[in-house]
A = this chain, B = another copy of it.
Amino acid sequence: MSAPSSPADVRPALRVAVLGCGVVGTEVVRLLTTQADDLASRVGARLELVGVAVRDVDVPRDPVVDRALLTADAEGLVEKADVVVELMGGLQPAKDLLLRAIEHGASVVTANKALLAQDGPVLYAAADAAGVDLYFEAAVAGAIPIVRPVRESLAGDHVRRVLGIVNGTTNYVLDRMATEGLDLEQAVKEAQSLGYAEADPTADVEGYDAAAKAAILASLAFHTRVSLDDVAREGITSVTADDVAWAERTGYVIKLLAIAERGETAAEDGSTTAGIQVRVHPALVPAGHPLAGVRGAFNAVFVEAEAAGELMFYGRGAGGQPTASAVLGDVVSVARHRVLGGRGPVESSYAALPVLPASAARTRYQMRLEVADRPGVLAQVAAVLAGREVSIESVRQTPKGEGRVVTDVAMLVITTHTATEHALRSTVEAIEALDVVRRVVSVLRVEGA
């Protein structure tokens, strides 16, 4: 086979600036350096690393980072680059630097989910106005190629629903609770000792991280600008070992899901408004669903599209190397577009669907009640549900537990057909008021069924 022609050798190199040199930044610099020939071949021009912006140039670093490229002058650096890769994280100065890069005509790649979820619309608009690419594959689900497939492969299709396991920490925690019978606190401690959870795990266990990714996924899937404030959020802190054990007994697995789906709300005059709902909460997923098999710290995004049907994308959601791999894929794409003199498929928001309140979402529910262990209890509970038009899919009644003294209490597990959150809340209140009900132990949504 003859040597391939090398247009890369005759075209001027593209200047690449990297902002931030932590774990991911260092891996990106390593790949840009060690894979230079491969990258040039794919892009059609060489990629020249012109600088790495850091807070302190004197900190010792991995030897793969040439010290001569380090600079504390990020503002100056972005002005002399064709492609700016932002890996510093945080809202500022990342936002101003990206806007400055875009104004100067650079294409930008970022892994900054917090910034995109907060100020995505401003950045998208600036990139549109300047006619440059804004790519962010690494911001959602780390190394998993999900942004590109949703934005490009499904460009001729309509997405109905996205269900994502997008936070590896909480998935690890829930997985350990399920497989080892740990309680939440034990599992979080284990995750911390393995480096899967931060010393302060709030952003993960309270669902903030997942909510930011949900906003980005929803924006992409529904061509609508969704910000973090639009996302209804509930973390896993109220999930008990008992919930996890009962889930398994009834054929489910508990997962923290980021959900974006089409829906509608009905007004009192009977008119309806179509829109999307975006929410993050723990949910029961049927054991046979592909998402149920996502173990440990892995991530997965399940997409239901009209023509394509069901799709799932699975992989590592975090880590320096996986994230760097996703960043490099984006760098190749935007660099290739510059060689061609343009930009990739345009990030569209033409649908501009309204974001509906989470209370309008219709889901199935499973509620677990401690009730008096005597005849007629189920009839009373069922009457409450029927009165609120919440219909029952299945019921399971069990004496409360082996080895316990209490013998006059039974556990009643009721799974409903779809109902609005509003109807469900009023139902739970009415059930709590029944004499025969000792306690509503838990109420969990059922998804993916």
Contact = CB atoms under 8 A, between A and B. Distances in A.
Interface string A302-317: 0001111111111110
Interface in A289-348: 290, 293-295, 298, 305-316, 319, 321-322, 324-329, 331-333, 336-337, 339-346, 348
A35 interface: yes
A346 B8 CA distance: 11
Interface in A390-429: none
Interface stretch (A148-156, A194-202, A257-265): A148-156
Nearest to A347: B42
A343 B339 CA distance: 10
A352 interface: yes
A345 B42 contact: yes
A292 B352 CA distance: 40
A319 B309 contact: yes
Contact of A295 (B148, B288, B311): B288
A293 B44 CA distance: 40
A449 to B, nearest CB: 15
A1 interface: yes
Contacts of A329: 152-157
Given A44-B346, A350-B4, A156 B35 contact: yes
A315 B309 contact: yes
A31 B153 contact: no
A145 interface: yes
A363 interface: no
A217 to B, nearest CB: 15
A349 interface: yes
Number of copies of this kind of chain in the complex:
2
Nearest to A142: B308
Contact of A349 (B4, B156, B331): B4
Given A315-B311, A321-B308, A329-B153, A339 B336 contact: no
A49 interface: no
A442 interface: no
A137 interface: yes
A27 interface: yes
A106 interface: no
B309 A312 contact: no
Contacts of A324: 156, 307
Nearest to A27: B307
A327 B153 CA distance: 8
Contact of A327 (B156, B319, B327, B337): B156
A214 interface: no
B152 A149 contact: no
A322 B342 contact: no
Given A311-B143, A321-B309, A156 B331 contact: yes
Contact of A344 (B41, B153, B314, B336): B336
Interface in A342-380: 342-346, 348-350, 352
25 contacts: A31-B156, A31-B307, A35-B156, A42-B346, A143-B305, A143-B308, A145-B148, A148-B148, A148-B149, A148-B153, A156-B325, A156-B328, A290-B294, A308-B321, A311-B314, A312-B313, A312-B314, A313-B314, A336-B344, A336-B345, A340-B340, A340-B342, A340-B343, A341-B341, A342-B342
